[in-house]
Structure 1
Amino acid sequence: MNKDILVAADDHEGGLCLPKSSARLTQESGVGYNKASSLSFSAESRRQIHYCRAPLPSLSLRRSVSRRQNPRSLSLLNPLNKCGRMSEPSKVIHIRNVGHEIAESDLLQLLQPFGMVSKIVMLRAKNQALLQMEDLHASVSALQYYTSVQPSIRGRNVYMQFSSHQELTTDQSSHGRNSDQGSEPNRILLVTIHHMIYPITVEILHQVFKAYGFVEKIVTFQKSAGFQALIQYHSRQEAVEAFGSLHGRNIYDGCCQLDIQYSNLSELQVHYNNDRSRDFTNPSLPTEQRPRASQQGYLDPANLYAFQQAGASYAQMGRVAMIAAAFGGTLPHGVTGTNERCTLIVSNLNTDKIDEDKLFNLFSLYGNIVRIKILRNKPDHALVEMADGLQAELAVHYLKGSILFGKKLEVNYSKYPNITPAPDAHDYLNSSINRFNSNVVKNYRHCCSPTKMIHISALPQDISEEAILNHVSEHGTVLNTKLFEVNGKRQALILFKSEEEATEALVSKHASTLEGNTIRISFSQMQSI
């Protein structure tokens, strides 16, 4: 599907476009909750996936598709499977070379332009996936398109063909399953970490999962499947919400992917509070001397913090850990760091005063801006594409409900991943005034909601307080000012009567020219001058 169509679809959303996670979509479609593992299939079904093991049937035995039932499918030469055999059209699409870094949501974005995906099963052990489209026409259209266009996800080529299955069914028995794994919703989650480049601790897991409810207990352990954890919530509903929001997401960019199933345990037993297990309902439990990392066969999760304590560079830490350090050790309350959606939809804009550059000046406080587009059909709506998901999450966290030009902003995630380059989309990708091109940690440290006070830097050396006031006072009542120097560079603090006035001054005057200098404006967290 043309990306312009995807972007235009946001014109009709009314600003509320919080997409369901891919895990929730598949839960509602009926495949069951335990879809991330090939273990949800019977042994017979798994054997059928290996097409090379079965003899080729005669063409006379192959089921044909009626021209009357599906005339378009007959125009498609059935793609060859990996054995060189022609596959019969099916609603089920078999995808190979699905790396651990690829999430369900990535696969959904690849196929949803052709129709609704009703079921999805990730065969992680085989780097494969099975996706069932709503009807045969949708799967044929997808395969027809990807026969001429090489599908690629996160830089990895994936390969598609019709599955030998006409329908996906799940085997509800526990044959071959992990003994801790169940299929029914439960308040205890079994979490497997794939592609674990950076170590994961109880504290990190708690930070990620506590956003969805009260986490009572966490136990971590190492098994053949990799690093795993059991996470117990206070209620089943909290666990269901965490499952739907986090399954398939990465803790850090490009690694540490969460593969979540429901456990069949009824209660976790925790005997020690340490970096391997924690009972948050009983802080008085004793600690235990931890074995050396070399004895365990995997990296000591405490090393994540040891990098910082030893004075090592931030580049050695996981990106989220680096940003958390900029905020004083933990991300702001309510920010998980796991969001992967980069494009936001902003609504309830003042159409008489807003433009793309003013939106850039505001949203660039929380990350680099790629593109901004004000929607033609709804001029009080705009799309803002940030450089990454965490920056988008910070913008939503700090700006939702802020007042701009007399209107209360609604800031939500768009359902589409990016803004298509177009004449009516302003491109800021290579802009020199993006704030996060340098001093990244410092810029994260200064992230905050709009305040009454603005900080102005890059001022001319001989600038006067009067000249600064003349430049910004049109936007509101100035209560106090302070002109000062830091490392020989002139800076100023301006206190307005209200946050709305300070916000208007920032969006209107950031990156403007004052006596030959391009000035920079941000919010100050100081309460008074």
Structure 2
Amino acid sequence: MAYNGSGGKRLCTGTDLDVERSNGNNYMAGEPRRKREPPARPNHILLYTIINPAYPITVDVIHTISTPHGQVQRIVVFKKNGVQAMVEFESVESATRAKEALHGCDIYSGCCTLKIEFAKPERLNVFKNDQDSWDYTLSEDVPPVQRSAPLLQSPQYTGGRPQPYNMDYGSGGPPPPGMMKDRHGPPPPHHPRERGYGPEGYGGEGFVPPPPMHHPSMPPQNQGGPPQQGAVMMVYGLDPQTVNADRLFNLCCLYGNVVRIKFLKTKEGTAMVQMGDAVSVERCVQNLNNVTVGDYTLTLAFSKQAYLSEVMNPYPLPDKSPSFKDYVGNKNNRFLTPASIHKNRIQPPSKVLHFFNTPPDVSDEQLLQVFKDYGVTPPHTISKFPLKSERSSSGLMEFQNISQSVMAIMACNHATIQHPGAKFPFVMKLCFSSSRQIGQGKGQNPNKSQNQNQDQNNQRQGQNNGLAEHEYY
């Protein structure tokens, strides 16, 4: 994309948008040729078509690039024919400004190109506020963004709103919410200003010089240091009959935020996992590579791909679940906020698991039944921590070997447990413990002198994992 020297009017060149006018036909690169239709009359609702959507497109992304040009009332994102969105502005004038400013621009460098047209509907119907639809007239006020900064920081896959670049490079101050160390996302987008970039969102806090432009096939870069490897990994050696996307998520989420998971149809038992950053992939490789799970041995390695594209029609796995799933914004990701990142303890696989967020009066029999229901071997020992709150419980459970504990996490992490006094079921959470054993018999610890300190550490870890709050399904 090219800009004139004054930094004012945005000029799109043929490198960003190829529009050919020949024999009455009009088409954009990446779209099938079609006959030119009469231009739609100006309307306060726009149709955004995102060409080459290499990264997730949500209402937050669309809202952030649209609000500099006028008040947005409603947004609906739909993916029936590619990725499109309808944006309802307060006035025709605002919609016209947005269309003129954003048509032909890339949301992210080299991808997610915007084609914008006037839409025909007079009003958008929004039935719920989520990542695909939002009615801003009914929600809390959204903080305004500067009109002159329509393009985005990388989403970071943290669940927070995408942030516009700050025009005042070097002005200081903390990075925006959700922009933490060692968090990588899509390549930095183009930006019209030459005097600097704002809040740094990749490798450190504060403000840094502008990063180099990236092609989407290149791995994300760390603005504060040398280039990093991509955030996609290959996972080989999965049991094709039992492992699905959710089970793989349950294991990988212990080491970082999971963005997307894709199983390969041509390579049975093989999947690709896009994590939130390269550091998370490194954690997975270091801790899970060569781990035995049942009759299979996991092999993990960095992929050459920088990201996983969305699969519109995934094939069914043996259990009928889809072979591709998107986990952006999934609340079971455990590295979404600075507080949750601080609470996590990275541990290699162990035959002892730490469980938390279970009903306060849960019995050993109830816990054992969860594993039986999911078809995996239950633990032979369960030790519950003394209750610190009436809201939930926690403790340790020991399996015969690491293979069984890994299968238990894949199958039962985030399993629901009903409780008669709660409106919604509890979502049991599991992670590997630093304990190597927890004693003989349920709830007992005969080797107290050796294990007391370790059990106390695990109990503190349980408190750090947010046990004071019941996390509903």
Quickly name the TM-score band, shorter chain normalised: 0.3 to 0.5
- Report the TM-score when normalising by structure 2: 0.42
More helix by share: 1
Which protein, 1 or 2, shows the higher relative CO under an 8 Å CA cutoff with sep ≥ 6? 1
Structure of higher CA gyration radius: 1
